[in-house]
């Protein structure tokens, strides 16, 4: 597996509390992504980053914010968690240099299971 | 934006039979289509991918076909084995950026 870790791996929190999930990579890849996975919806992109301090919204960004102050770390914050944000969250990374295939594979982290009560 | 539909949502096959999963996409500018496999409790991992200038690609027991005119692509697994049991996701690259849109997933069960 590519050098990607996520912390925490499991978290239970209450509605209205702030939550921050961390993604850490040791591959020095330029692109980093946050997805949420829910039954029947596959993987949906929340936010992504194309460099330090460069981020953009994905499909389901409402209620989430991100920050990337270093190449290796990408933080996802739920300012005020809601029960609808109960999900499994995956971080992914990809390189920026175009590969022989013309596109670069996204490598996923181990995931964080978040439960909002 | 891009939208990807995936069918069927569940698929049960007998060991040794073939399995086919189909996806359609909406953005005709999409040019890259990967397939990911996710075993229970694990992370998604790339198993095969295809670019829009290629109609078919094979890797041992798995193959992917692409029909650009119809905007659909399919995953074919031959001689299925119990270890093929997993959730499979198709995806399409957005026109801009290194972003993927995923299908909802197919649960494949291979019965021995």
CB neighbour list of residue B95: distance below 8 Å, 6 or more residues apart = B2, B27, B29, B30
pLDDT at position B96 is 64
Tokens of B79: 């001689």
Cβ pair B46:A31 closer than 8 A: no
Question: Please, are residues B24 and B72 in contact by the beta-carbon 8 Å criterion?
Answer: yes
Low-confidence ranges of chain B (pLDDT < 70): 95-97
Nearest by CB to residue B43, choosing from A58, A102, A109, is A109
pLDDT at position B93 is 87
pLDDT at position A16 is 97
Between CA B22 and CA A17 the distance in angstroms is 41
Low-confidence ranges of chain A (pLDDT < 50): none
Question: Please, are residues B77 and B18 in contact by the beta-carbon 8 Å criterion?
Answer: yes
Cβ pair A59:B1 closer than 8 A: yes
- Strand pairing class (A64-70; A4-7): unpaired
DSSP B53-107: T-SEEEETTEEEEEETTTTEEEEEE-S--GGG-EEEEEEEE-SSSS-EEE---EE
Beta bridge pairs of residue A113: A10, A88
pLDDT digits (tens, 9 = 90+) for B72-95: 999 999 999 999 999 999 999 876
Cβ neighbours of A67 (radius 10 Å):
15
3-class DSSP state of A83:
helix
Cβ pair A56:B97 closer than 8 A: yes
When scoring B43, B91, B92, B101 by the number of chain A Cβ atoms within 10 A, the one with the most, hence best to mutate, is: B43
pLDDT at position B52 is 83
């Amino acid at each position: 597996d590519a050098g990607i870790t996520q912390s925490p791996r499991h978290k239970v929190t209450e509605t209205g509390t702030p939550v921050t999930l961390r993604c850490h990579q040791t591959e020095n890849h330029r692109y980093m992504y946050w997805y949420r996975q829910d039954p029947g919806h596959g993987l949906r992109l929340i936010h992504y980053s194309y460099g330090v301090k460069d981020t953009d919204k994905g499909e389901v960004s409402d209620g989430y914010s991100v920050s990337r102050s270093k190449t290796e770390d990408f933080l996802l914050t739920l300012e005020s968690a809601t029960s609808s944000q109960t999900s499994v969250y995956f971080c992914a990374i990809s390189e920026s240099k175009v590969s022989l295939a013309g596109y670069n594979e996204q490598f996923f982290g181990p995931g964080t299971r978040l439960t909002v009560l | 934006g891009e939208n990807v539909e995936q069918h069927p949502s569940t698929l049960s096959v007998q060991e040794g039979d073939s399995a086919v999963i189909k996806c359609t996409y909406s953005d005709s500018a999409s040019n890259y289509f990967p397939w990911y496999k996710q075993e229970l409790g694990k992370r998604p991992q790339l198993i095969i991918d295809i670019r829009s200038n290629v109609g078919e690609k094979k890797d041992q027991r798995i193959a992917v076909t692409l029909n650009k005119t119809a905007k659909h692509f399919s995953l074919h697994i031959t001689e299925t084995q119990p270890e093929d049991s997993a959730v499979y996701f198709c995806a399409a690259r957005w026109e801009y950026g290194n972003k993927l849109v995923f299908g909802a997933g197919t649960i494949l069960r291979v019965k021995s």
